[in-house]
Chains A and B, each alone.
Chain A
């Protein structure tokens, strides 16, 4: 169970973009991202199409095709990616359930605000370039296994 309202598509967008960044200019195929992240290819395509539509990715078709970043990785924050999928985050929200604001505050005190601020701050300050070294290790390991 998780209290964080991230969907699979959000996670795919973040992990996919980190792998694409790690692959550099030569790009990476959706199939390879699918195999590494063990996700559904159809779901992945939908997420990648959306990221391309919003100008974050370039795609090349064909046997050597794939996805590459259309912006520098250090200019892409995680909050941009999450909001493309889920819509704008509400930072001012009293708590996480509508119509029951008074009791929510009593049940959870300031915890909701604190954790919301903490998570939004993480998403705003973390860039895809911060995740690239970790993703590069995973990609290199995968490529080594594939060559064997």
Chain B
């Protein structure tokens, strides 16, 4: 089955990883995040390191080490998480990133651009705190059980 909307595996891990870091009562490491999100450990480590590099989370070493939030959840916009992974988001009018459309104006009326713009606006206007408000106790409980 094909999906209509596309987001990279790395970005998906980043969103999930940072939420897990925020809700965990104890330091959570890349292995725990990989297990909970069913992602590759190696890939998860790389993604989390990018979040560290961008100052969204910090990490402590050692057997009980792990990640912690470096900013308040209300100060982390969802777009910050996306851009930590994908780089600066620049919308291109073309779904296949053609800089100049050979048809002059988009044959499909710019619908792909419109959809991407709505996604970006959502990510720009919501913070990690908004997500955390909606994370259910069931989800937190499941996470702690796995941990």
Chain A positions near chain B (C-beta within 8 angstroms) = 1-8, 11, 14-15, 18, 36-38, 78, 83, 86-90, 93, 95-97, 99-100, 102-104, 106-109, 111-112, 115-116, 118-120, 122, 126, 131, 134-135, 138
Residues of B within 8 A of A2 (CB): 6, 91-92, 94-97, 112-113, 116
- Is B102 within 8 A of A6, CB to CB? no
- Is A100 within 8 A of B115, CB to CB? no
Residues of B within 8 A of A119 (CB): 4, 111, 115
Residues of B within 8 A of A107 (CB): 15, 19, 78, 131
Chain B positions near chain A (C-beta within 8 angstroms) = 1-7, 9, 12, 15-16, 19, 37-39, 78, 86, 89-92, 94-98, 102-105, 107-108, 111-113, 115-116, 118-119, 122, 131, 134-136, 139
Partner of B5, one of A11, A96, A99, A126: A96
- Is B1 within 8 A of A3, CB to CB? no
Enumerate the 9 nearest inter-chain pairs by beta-carbon distance, A residue then B residue, closest first: A5-B6, A90-B1, A4-B112, A99-B38, A97-B12, A86-B2, A6-B95, A116-B4, A96-B5
Complex CA distance for A2 and B26, rounded to whole angstroms? 37
Partner of B107, one of A90, A103, A118, A131: A131
- Is A90 within 8 A of B5, CB to CB? no
Closest chain-A Cβ to B34's Cβ sits at a distance in Å of 11
- Is B139 within 8 A of A1, CB to CB? no
- Is A4 within 8 A of B1, CB to CB? no
Residues of B within 8 A of A4 (CB): 4-6, 95, 112, 115-116
Closest chain-A Cβ to B82's Cβ sits at a distance in Å of 9
14 A-B pairs, CB-CB below 8 angstroms? A1-B89, A3-B119, A5-B5, A18-B107, A88-B1, A89-B3, A96-B6, A97-B9, A99-B37, A100-B16, A103-B139, A107-B15, A107-B19, A120-B4
Known: A1-B89, A1-B90, A5-B5. Is A118-B115 also a contact (CB below 8 A)?
A: yes
Closest chain-B Cβ to A81's Cβ sits at a distance in Å of 12
Complex CA distance for A89 and B2, rounded to whole angstroms? 5
Complex CA distance for A15 and B106, rounded to whole angstroms? 10
Known: A1-B86, A138-B104. Is A96-B7 also a contact (CB below 8 A)?
A: yes
- Is B9 within 8 A of A111, CB to CB? no
Known: A7-B96, A107-B131. Is A14-B3 also a contact (CB below 8 A)?
A: no
Complex CA distance for A65 and B9, rounded to whole angstroms? 44
